[in-house]
Amino acid sequence: MTTRIFIDGAAGTTGLEIRERLAGRSEFELIVLDDAQRKDVDARKQALTEAEVAILCLPDDAAREAVALASGSDTRIIDASSAHRVAQGWAYGFPELTGRDAIASAQYVANPGCYPTGFLALVGPLVKAGLLPADWPYTVNAVSGYSGGGNALIGRFAEESDIAFRAYGLSLGHKHLPEMQQTIGLAHPPVFSPSVVHAHRGMVVDVPLPLSAMTGATSAAFLEGELTGFYEDSEIVTVRKASDLPSELLLREGATAWDGMDLYVYDSGDGSQARLVAVLDNLGKGASGAAIQNLNIMCGLPETTGLALAR
Ligand SMILES: NC(=O)C1=CN([C@@H]2O[C@H](COP(=O)(O)OP(=O)(O)OC[C@H]3O[C@@H](n4cnc5c(N)ncnc54)[C@H](OP(=O)(O)O)[C@@H]3O)[C@@H](O)[C@H]2O)C=CC1
Ligand SMILES: CC(=O)N[C@@H](CCC(=O)OP(=O)(O)O)C(=O)O
């Protein structure tokens, strides 16, 4: 028995990577629309209602439209867009953090945003354990490869090939803030500084902690110990040992697809400051890899099947 899958937006950056990860998976059968039909509403509706699982790799408005087109059918939906991440009736698809059961039984699963994946992986377990305060105004400094902005940003970096660094989100209203705040019950949205560098893929998410000024925070060693325990059974998330921390974190222009995520706890040595850092692939655990992980869980399959975990 195969499961019928339709990727709406299969020609886009995230959709293509999902298709690549599904190639050779005999458990699944893909419904494919040709180029002339891929934006045709009637053809999409038919594919969306015939599929057992639809994976939406669309802009937010088109993702909302796809959900409406599929309504009334039993189709289960994984939405890679930010349209439904804090919506009622949707499971947040971060199995390590929000649990597998809700995803396994859900009709609707929202795939986390790429930046929130790094932020929530770091801060979520520590707030939950009471080792970091929920009422602290966190800051998040992050760098992404340009594929994070989809075909439009890939095209821009191709045209303006001299762009080395791009800071954005400067008006402080980034669409990822609600899921960063609400998923783990923070009192305030983080102050978020995203940026893009001249690399196709890859992401560094850095959360600086002025520990000595934070009532209710603990030492970096406790933070690292808690994260290590939290992710000890994960094949996808690795917490790097305090004794083995690299002195620099690099993104490579030629990096290949990777569905893992590495977490680091850096320490000032005197207990006053720490930096929590996540390194991931915006198209891996940040999007397409996470969608495949959620699909596996929804279909009762081992969750790492088909993922690119070696680097
Ligand atoms: N890139 C990344 O790293 C990540 C992306 N995401 C999210 O995933 C979603 C897809 O992003 P991404 O793949 O990067 O974007 P792209 O722009 O690369 O791809 C989007 C695709 O959707 C198609 N599309 C647009 N409107 C419609 C429509 N009405 N009907 C059918 N197809 C349509 C586009 O076609 P056309 O080009 O012809 O308009 C394009 O092929 C977005 O919501 C994004 O925010 C989430 C996490 C990370
Ligand atoms: C570099 C870049 O532009 N990144 C995107 C986020 C990519 C992502 O996570 O997609 P979602 O919007 O679906 O969450 C941005 O900042 O809007």
CATH number at 46 reads 3.40.50.720
Q: Which DSSP string corresponds to 58-95?
A: S-HHHHHHHHHHHTTS--EEEE-SSSSTT-TT-EE--H
CA–centroid distance, 242 to ligand 2, in Å, is: 30
Tell me which ligand sits closest to the C-alpha of residue 199: 2
- Whether 290 lines ligand 1, by a CB cut-off of 6 Å, is no
In terms of domains, do 93 and 106 share one?
yes
In terms of domains, do 91 and 51 share one?
yes
Element (DSSP H or E) covering residue 279:
strand 274-280
Work out how many domains the chain is built from and give that number. 2
In terms of domains, do 154 and 271 share one?
yes
Closest alpha carbon to 236 in 306, 311, 144, 304: 304
Whether residue 15 is contained in a domain is answered as yes
- Whether 9 lines ligand 1, by a CB cut-off of 6 Å, is yes
Kindly calculate the radius of gyration of the chain based on its CA atoms and give it in whole angstroms: 19
Q: Is the ipTM of this complex over 0.95?
A: yes
**Measured between alpha carbons, how far is 309 from 311 in angstroms, rounded to an integer?**
7
Whether residue 307 is contained in a domain is answered as no
Residue 148 DSSP code: G
Check if the beta carbon of residue 176 is closer than 8 Å to that of residue 116: yes
In terms of domains, do 64 and 197 share one?
no
In terms of domains, do 9 and 87 share one?
yes
**Measured between alpha carbons, how far is 92 from 226 in angstroms, rounded to an integer?**
22
In terms of domains, do 8 and 95 share one?
yes
Q: Which domain holds residue 188?
A: 114-285
**Measured between alpha carbons, how far is 45 from 84 in angstroms, rounded to an integer?**
19
In terms of domains, do 279 and 133 share one?
yes
In terms of domains, do 196 and 77 share one?
no
> What does the pLDDT read at residue 311?
84
Whether residue 92 is contained in a domain is answered as yes
Pairing of strands 261-267, 274-280: antiparallel
In terms of domains, do 252 and 136 share one?
yes
Whether residue 74 is contained in a domain is answered as yes
**Measured between alpha carbons, how far is 298 from 237 in angstroms, rounded to an integer?**
20
Mention every residue, 6+ apart, whose C-beta is less than 8 A from residue 124: 97, 183, 184
> What does the pLDDT read at residue 133?
95
In terms of domains, do 86 and 230 share one?
no
3 state SS of 282: coil
Whether residue 64 is contained in a domain is answered as yes
> What does the pLDDT read at residue 1?
85
3 state SS of 204: strand
**Measured between alpha carbons, how far is 175 from 191 in angstroms, rounded to an integer?**
12
CA–centroid distance, 167 to ligand 2, in Å, is: 13
CATH number at residue 196: 3.30.360.10
In terms of domains, do 37 and 158 share one?
no
**Measured between alpha carbons, how far is 242 from 267 in angstroms, rounded to an integer?**
9
Whether residue 93 is contained in a domain is answered as yes
Whether residue 53 is contained in a domain is answered as yes
Strand partners, 54: 6, 77
> What does the pLDDT read at residue 102?
97
> What's the distance, CA 7 to chain centroid?
18
Question: Token pair for residue 305?
Answer: 């099947």
In terms of domains, do 88 and 121 share one?
no
Whether residue 303 is contained in a domain is answered as no
pLDDT tens, residue order, the chain (311 aa): 899 999 999 999 999 999 999 999 999 999 999 999 999 999 999 999 999 999 999 999 999 999 999 999 999 999 999 999 999 999 999 999 999 999 999 999 999 999 999 999 999 999 999 999 999 999 999 999 999 999 999 999 999 999 999 999 999 999 999 999 999 999 999 999 999 999 999 999 999 999 999 987 789 999 999 999 999 999 999 999 999 899 999 999 999 999 999 999 999 999 999 999 999 999 999 999 999 999 999 999 999 999 999 98
- Whether 286 lines ligand 1, by a CB cut-off of 6 Å, is yes
